[in-house]
Amino acid sequence: MPRAMKPAPIESYVDAAAAALDLRLRSDHRPGVLRYFALAAEFAAVVDAVPLDMHDESAVHFVPVVPTEPQE
């Protein structure tokens, strides 16, 4: 299981990023922003845990597909 960020570094990062962007974060928005950033950090940890070899390359572009209805 990938290691996720702890709450204190997340709060510090969000505060620093908001200050760097001169973004005023409303107190009623702060819990949601922290929750979302923690979720994004968990996703990043999962992606970061995937081993890559020297021959692996990034995708050139993403092509979405239309979802299909499940077949019964």
Q: Give tens-digit pLDDT for 31-70.
A: 999 999 999 988 888 888 889 888 888 777 878 888 888 7
Query: What crossing angle do the helices spanning 30-48 and 7-20 adopt, rounded to 10°?
Result: 110
Whether 64 maps to a domain, the answer reads: no
Domains of the chain: total: 1
Whether 55 maps to a domain, the answer reads: no
Around Cβ 19, how many Cβ atoms within 10 Å?
11
Q: Give tens-digit pLDDT for 1-11.
A: 456 677 788 99
Is a pLDDT exceeding 80 seen at residue 12?
A: yes
pTM for this prediction? 0.63
Q: Which domain holds residue 38?
A: 7-48
Is a pLDDT exceeding 90 seen at residue 28?
A: yes
Residue 1: predicted pLDDT: 45
